Chain A
Amino acid sequence: MRVLLMVALAAMAATAQVKYEDILAGPGANWLTYAGSYSGQRHSPLTQINTETAKNLTAKWVYHVPDAKKLEAVPIVYDGILYVTNSNQLHALDARTGRKIWVYRDEQAEGSRVNRGPAILGDKVYFVTTDCRLVALHRKTGAVLWHKKYAETKDGYFATMAPFAVKDKIVVGMGGGDSGARGFLKALSAETGEEMWNFWTVPAKGEPGAETWSKDETLKWGGAATWLSGTYDPALNLLYWTTGNPWPDFYGGDRLGANLYSDSLIALDVDTGKLKWHFQFTPHDTHDWDAQSWPVLLDMEWAGKMRKVVVHPNRNGFFYVLDRVTGEFLRATQFADKVDWAKGIDAKGVPILVPGKDPTPGGTRACPAVRGAANWMSPSYNPATGLFYLPTLEQCDIYSSSAKEPKPMTGFAGTGGEQIPAEPGQMLLRAIDPKTGKRVWQYPMTGPATAWAGTVSTAGGVVLFGDDAGHLVAADAKSGKHLWHFGTSQNVTASPITYLVDGKQYVTICSATHVFTFGLFTPAE
């Protein structure tokens, strides 16, 4: 013991480190960013779990996250260590056994909220606290390297998102758009937490886009929150990020106009944070249809030649294809059956509105529901099948509004959307061909339509997803045929991942309170 070699934290930097290039390489043995790769495809090249073997999947371990209520985290896995977050906590687990290595708790953070997961870069793991601090921890010891406050709760901000590590930056966003906070996206230095750039998702007076808000004062509390992670194209150096609804959510009378950049996809230069282009899915939204679903980057044949596109299923019920270099609108197709607010999307990408679908004081029936036909639950794309796997909700709601004078940070949203008791929602997994926008197969689920579960696709020809009755399901990626399922007995509120440890493929998904991990059956040693 006396001869024990001891080193300083800084000297450990020499040991295995996550490089930007590792994240760039996409998933394989590790799972290094929320969507697995910068493209957002959530497609793993692993093949041990395949259409033949999926039936032999079995539980390997279950980790209970104390005081968890609704885990929405997508874990990061690096070098056999799995990192998962809960409100103001980060747990580092041995991915072979699910045993805890260390836990970091920030007991002083304000309140408790969902958290969508950590990020990793270098020797650091990162996560955001409820009150908008980016925390950097040493990935092996859990030692706190720094805390960086990047927004004030007194201004209506909170944080739930998974930070996004790119180059030498950690990109962070905010929540609070439903109670009148002004949206932003920031890049902080991965090394020190210092701010490198800031992009306001609601322009200031006089800036381009400000003319899409009828009153200047609304610019200060326009919403357009940035609570999900994004995607990134290294060749174009562009970051793709979706924004939330304008505020007040359900009453638009005080904010006539399109309300940029709410409900949009924005493409920013990753080095400067400058806006390259934007596309708004739902101009002047009054149904709380945040654009927080994934902007997935594909290289796809379009009108006879390869084109760099971004595809995006929106809460509003349409599946969009845009040119990701220029933002040019290429096509939108309806992916949900229950869509009645618009007849379609015109050649310029503008919805053809059906009159009488705005919320009213007495309530208006409209579809999709406030939860959207799609939402933040991760879809995935398999290049081999050419299919896009999309968790879909078929539901309508009664939307009501109130013209009360909007006061930010008072919980006022201009009222809301309510489920119609006699018309329960239906969740399905749909496989869509992005080339045509057509449905190829669907997997209807039973359940209360309360799941928040996403998908992961694998080169083994299997798509894994959470269903609406608390199962993790494996289906044949080509046909949608059921291969295997496992009941967690809980609502599944996150998206699965897959990775290798000691050469064996694992699948992990968080349920409301537990982390479940599966692998192929092997007899006990």
Chain B
Amino acid sequence: MRILLWLMVGAVALAQRAPLKQEDVAAGRQLYMSSCAGCHGLSGEGGRGPNLMTGRAVSRSTDDVLFQALKFGLAGTDMPPTNLPDEKLWQIMAYVRGLSAPAYEIPVEGDEKAGAAVYFGKGGCTKCHAIAGKGGVFGSDLTSIGHQRPLNLIREAVLDPGRRIAPGYQRATLHLKSGKTLEGVLRDYTTYNYTLQDGTGELHFVKAVDVADQRILPGSPMPGNYRETLTAAERRDLIKFLSRQSARGEQ
């Protein structure tokens, strides 16, 4: 990491990146699974090596710097050199870039229209989530989700919502000394104050001294069974649809 950063500083001027191609990403994924996933995790979530979805080392480094790191490893760390022909390394790199790049910027397989149908129909997502002002207030705004998150994090959010809770969405029940009960998500809480947003979107600013009992519930308020209720094709198309969501649209 230290070395990678050092190299990056020297190379900022070259911060161009090759556009990612669907074939390269697909081939790179295969190679990643055999050469890298053992240390960096099946979806890049990290393990012996760092998380490649959320870390900034990848998104901030140039193609050259990243390539050198993959080919020669990072001296003095557990990151080994990779003994593969250069063109295969470039394919791995295309895939690795995609791990942390906003989903909107990378090729994603699936049918966007069919995904929209799942989102607005069978998936029932609009009950909680809004896109461009249409939908519920309880879940996070998905208008620009394609720009805000890398693909794997979107996939994880939909299929395994309990794994990582978007900040400000911890479920809670507050029993107030006044006898009132508030339920919703905690936009913020400290030792002294709570900001709770209920299912109607109403904000409640509560002082800790006014709370008799607080229950901060584990897990996500979002249904956790989409892996069962949606078919593989529906899940793929839904994720494609989410990856295309951008407040700015095509610039």
Q: State yes or no: do A and B come from one complex.
A: yes
> Residues of A at under 8 Å CB distance from B?
1, 4-10, 12, 15, 80-81, 94, 96-97, 99-102, 106-108, 133, 135, 138, 140-147, 525
B10 to chain A, nearest CB (A): 24
Do B190 and A99 touch (CB < 8 A)?
yes
Contact of A4 with B199 in the complex, beta carbons under 8 Å: yes
CA of A146 to CA of B147, assembled, Å:
15
Q: Does B45 contact A (CB under 8 A)?
A: no
Set of chain B residues within 8 Å of A80, measured between Cβ atoms: 205
Interface centre among A80, A141, A143 (most CB of B within 10 A): A143
Contact (Cβ within 8 A) A146 B133: yes
Nearest B-chain residue to A15, judged by Cβ: B202
Known A5-B200, A6-B127, A144-B143; contact A102-B168, beta-carbon cutoff 8 A: yes
Question: Would you list the 6 A-B pairs with minimal beta carbon distance, nearest first?
Answer: A143-B141, A145-B133, A6-B199, A144-B143, A4-B199, A144-B247
B37-77: which residues lie under 8 A (CB-CB) from chain A? none
Contacts of B193 in A (CB 8 A): 94, 96-97, 99
Q: Looking at chain B, what size class is its interface with the partner chain?
A: 35 or more
**B103-135 with Cβ < 8 A to chain A:** 126-128, 130, 132-135
| B246 surroundings in chain A (CB, below 8 A) | 108
Count of A-B contacts judged by CB separation below 8 Å: 115
Q: Say whether B183 contacts A4, CB under 8 Å.
A: yes
Interface pair B141/A142, CB less than 8 Å apart? yes
Residues of B within 8 A of A15 (CB): 200-202
> Which chain B residues lie closer than 8 Å to A7 at the CB level?
136-137, 199-201
Contact (A1, B141) CB under 8 Å given A94-B205, A101-B188: no
Is B2 on the interface with A (CB-CB < 8 A)?
no
Contact: B132 with A12, CB < 8 Å? no
B162 within 8 A of A: no
Given contacts A140-B197, A147-B247, 11 further A-B contacts (CB under 8 A): A1-B221, A5-B199, A8-B137, A96-B193, A101-B203, A102-B168, A102-B187, A141-B141, A141-B197, A144-B143, A525-B207
Per-residue CB proximity of B189-221 to A under 8 Å, as 1/0? 010110101111111010101000000010001
Chain A interface mostly: loop
CA distance A493 to B138 in the complex (A): 37
CB distance from A91 to the nearest CB of B (A): 12
B195–A94 CB distance below 8 A: yes
Nearest chain B CB to A275 CB, angstrom units: 33
| B190: chain A residues within 8 A (beta carbon) | 99
- Flag whether B180 is at the interface (Cβ < 8 A): no
A525 proximity list for chain B (CB < 8 A)? 207, 209
* Alpha-carbon distance A7/B130, docked complex (angstroms): 11
By the criterion CB–CB under 8 Å, are B188 and A9 in contact? no
On whether the beta carbons of B248 and A147 are closer than 8 Å, the reply is: yes
Q: Contact between B128 and A96 (Cβ–Cβ < 8 Å)? A: no
Please tell me which one of the listed residues A99, A140, A147 contacts residue B137 in the complex, with CB atoms under 8 A apart: A140
Bound Cα distance from A101 to B187, whole angstroms: 6
Closest A residue to B215 by beta carbon equals A1
Give the distance to chain B from A37, nearest Cβ to Cβ, in Å.
26
A140, B141: Cβ atoms under 8 Å?
no
CB-defined A-B contacts under 8 Å, sample of 20: A1-B217, A4-B198, A5-B200, A6-B127, A7-B137, A7-B201, A12-B137, A12-B201, A94-B195, A96-B193, A99-B195, A100-B187, A106-B247, A107-B148, A108-B246, A141-B130, A141-B197, A144-B143, A146-B132, A146-B247
* Distance between Cα atoms of A107 and B221 in the complex (Å): 27
Per-residue A-contact encoding for B9-46, CB less than 8 Å = 1, 0 else: 00000000000000000000000000000000000000
